[in-house]
Amino acid sequence: MIHYPLDNLLPVDSDGFYGSFGGAYVPEKLLPIIRELEEAFRRYIADPAFQTEYDRLLHEYVGRPTPLYFSSSLSNQYGTKIFLKREDLNHTGAHKINNAIGQALLAVRMGKKKIIAETGAGQHGVATATVAALLGLECEIFMGAEDVRRQHPNVMRMEMLGAKVISVDSGSATLSNAVDAALAAWAANPDETFYLIGSAVGPHPYPEIVSRFQSVISHEIRLQLKELTGRENPDCIIACIGGGSNASGAFYHFLEKPEVRLIAVEAGGHGIESRETAASISAGKPAILHGSKTMVLTCPDGKPAEAYSISSGLDYPGVGPLIACLAQQNRAEIIVADDNEALAAAYNLARRDGIIPALESSHALAALDKTKFRPDDIVVISLSGRGDKDMDTFLSYPPCREDA
Ligand SMILES: *Cc1c(COP(=O)(O)O)cnc(C)c1O
């Protein structure tokens, strides 16, 4: 069993700022609640009993470590050495459960009875409903009505697990509106409720909490690369970014290693010129969204715009403050992959390696066509989730059928 150190290696200051991004922009009423959360987090994450329970559940329940798979097929195709970090093989099918378990353990220790969460693709909702069932907590999941429609299998899973799914009709009826509804429900009943945020977004300390619980990904990558190649550090790590949690986790132990290229892939949707996009770094500007200052897609009047991507998990008009900061400081390279490129990359992996990736993860794979590598480079791609939930989209997309 691996012991995950969960140390703080983030470039975050005591007010929760990553460079000029981050902070905690919340209603007055939530300030003491956020302070209580931060205090509890700092206490328990340093507590050996908490750490042991986290390590044990990740191993026995989630199935960690997830494999680091060398794809000889992709390596031949792209003329470099490509490894896939198989987060798709986690219990519930994505990386989200790494963080959901950590926060739910925190909720139990803080004496909370009920967990609320927002979800886009439904993956975080399923992960949250799962850990709530495991730990005997009541669970309510806020989900945009559009996503309820697109991700129906995940809605059924959450209900079977005993969670209540609350469909949110406002705005574009997607993830961003679900976050607003969850924040409002939290502010209405903060003493009883634990708000389990699913990505590295929201007010401080959430981006830090989520990134530290997801740091198990890069901790394992280092151990596995060492065993497979003799080296701990890859030359390049690629991850898709919705809010940035699988990217934060995959980049985590390499943040301070400038020789490791960090590539974050945004969802272009129909293209960044089209306004139907979710590329908040490439097409957005600094603004406050869901409690933190970050890169946000905005309307001409300055309000957050509605994001669009074929992938529900990337369909969000902001990004976590860590990724916004890494982009601003040129520590991370930002690549945009649009809907069609992601679909083509999904079919490519399915046909070459027998792995059906989530549409989100397909954006990371699409970046292989958009950057150059040396033959000896070790490139690790975060395969954040599996594509079962996206089968209707894959099969109903005519251009892919013709290509295939
Ligand atoms: C939710 C999700 C994402 C996007 O969220 P991040 O916080 O940016 O990682 C990516 N991949 C999968 C499979 C997801 O479920």
At 325-384, the pLDDT tens digits run 999 999 999 999 999 999 999 999 999 999 999 999 999 999 999 999 999 999 999 999
How many Å apart are CA 309 and CA 359, to the nearest integer?
A: 10
- Ligand 1 centre to CA of 245 (Å) is 7
Do 215 and 303 form a contact (C-beta atoms < 8 A)?
A: no
Q: Which pLDDT does position 389 carry in this prediction?
A: 87
Of the listed 85, 96, 112, 389, which one is catalytic?
96
User: Residue 69: in which H helix or E strand, if any?
Assistant: strand 68-70
Segment among 16-30, 154-168, 230-244, 302-316 with least mean pLDDT: 302-316
Q: Which pLDDT does position 294 carry in this prediction?
A: 98
- Is 215 considered catalytic here? no
Residue 386 CA: nearest ligand 1 atom is 13
Beta-sheet pairing, 236-240 with 68-70: unpaired
The pair of three-digit structure tokens given for residue 3, joined into one six-digit string: 């012991």
How many Å apart are CA 237 and CA 258, to the nearest integer?
A: 12
Round to the nearest angstrom and report the end-to-end CA distance of the chain: 41
DSSP state for residue 64 in the 8-state scheme? P
- Ligand 1 centre to CA of 274 (Å) is 23
How many Å apart are CA 284 and CA 318, to the nearest integer?
A: 8
Burial class (CB in 10 A: 0-12, 13-18, 19+), 374: exposed
Cα dihedral 142, 194, 187, 33 in deg (nearest 10): -150
Q: Which pLDDT does position 196 carry in this prediction?
A: 97
CB proximity list for 220: less than 8 A, separation 6 or greater? 2, 64, 65, 66, 68, 85
Do 237 and 373 form a contact (C-beta atoms < 8 A)?
A: no
Residue 199 CA: nearest ligand 1 atom is 7
- Ligand 1 centre to CA of 399 (Å) is 25
Q: Which pLDDT does position 262 carry in this prediction?
A: 98
From 98, 150, 176, 199, mutation site for ligand 1 pocket: most ligand atoms within 8 A of C-beta: 199
Do 101 and 131 form a contact (C-beta atoms < 8 A)?
A: yes
Token match 């009943």: residue?
A: 189
CB proximity list for 395: less than 8 A, separation 6 or greater? 401
From 90, 99, 123, mutation site for ligand 1 pocket: most ligand atoms within 8 A of C-beta: 123
Residue 319 CA: nearest ligand 1 atom is 8
Question: Ligand 1, atom 3: nearest CA belongs to which residue?
Answer: 313
Which pTM was predicted? 0.96
Do 80 and 353 form a contact (C-beta atoms < 8 A)?
A: no
Do 203 and 43 form a contact (C-beta atoms < 8 A)?
A: no
Q: What number is the average pLDDT over the span 299-317?
A: 90
- Ligand 1 centre to CA of 232 (Å) is 25
Question: Ligand 1, atom 14: nearest CA belongs to which residue?
Answer: 313
Q: What number is the average pLDDT over the span 111-115?
A: 96
- Is 211 considered catalytic here? no
Q: How many CB atoms lie within 10 A of CB 135?
A: 15
Question: Ligand 1, atom 10: nearest CA belongs to which residue?
Answer: 360
- Is 112 considered catalytic here? no
pLDDT for 400 beyond 60: no
Q: Quick one: CA dihedral 80, 363, 260, 100, positive or negative?
A: negative
Q: Which pLDDT does position 101 carry in this prediction?
A: 98
Summarize pLDDT for 206-244 with one digit per residue, the tens: 999 999 999 999 999 999 999 999 999 999 999 999 999
The phi, psi pair for 27, rounded to 5°, reads -60, 145
Cα dihedral 33, 37, 40, 46 in deg (nearest 10): -160
- Ligand 1 centre to CA of 78 (Å) is 25
Confidence of residue 150 (pLDDT cuts 50, 70, 90): confident
Of the listed 38, 118, 220, 266, which one is catalytic?
118
Residue 198 CA: nearest ligand 1 atom is 7
Nearest to residue 257, comparing CAs of 282, 225, 227? 225
Question: Ligand 1, atom 2: nearest CA belongs to which residue?
Answer: 313
The pair of three-digit structure tokens given for residue 58, joined into one six-digit string: 């990740």
Query: How far out from the chain centre does Cα 150 lie?
Result: 19
The pair of three-digit structure tokens given for residue 112, joined into one six-digit string: 């909370």
Summarize pLDDT for 15-59 with one digit per residue, the tens: 999 999 999 999 888 999 999 999 999 999 999 999 999 999 999
Q: What number is the average pLDDT over the span 118-140?
A: 94
Q: Which long-range contacts (CB under 8 A, 24 or more apart) does 373-378 make?
A: 373/78, 373/79, 373/80, 373/235, 373/236, 374/80, 374/235, 375/79, 375/80, 376/80, 376/81, 377/80, 377/81, 377/235, 377/236, 378/81, 378/83, 378/225, 378/229, 378/231, 378/234, 378/235, 378/236
Residue 242 CA: nearest ligand 1 atom is 8
The fraction of the chain above a pLDDT of 70, given in percent, is 98
Give the residues surrounding ligand 1 with Cβ less than 6 Å away.
94, 96, 121, 123-124, 199-200, 240-247, 313-314, 358, 360-361, 384-385
Confidence of residue 398 (pLDDT cuts 50, 70, 90): low
- Ligand 1 centre to CA of 28 (Å) is 30
The fraction of the chain above a pLDDT of 90, given in percent, is 86
Residue 358 CA: nearest ligand 1 atom is 13
- Ligand 1 centre to CA of 323 (Å) is 14
Q: What number is the average pLDDT over the span 142-154?
A: 89
In 87-202, alpha helices (H): 96-109, 123-135, 145-150, 152-160, 175-188
- Ligand 1 centre to CA of 312 (Å) is 9
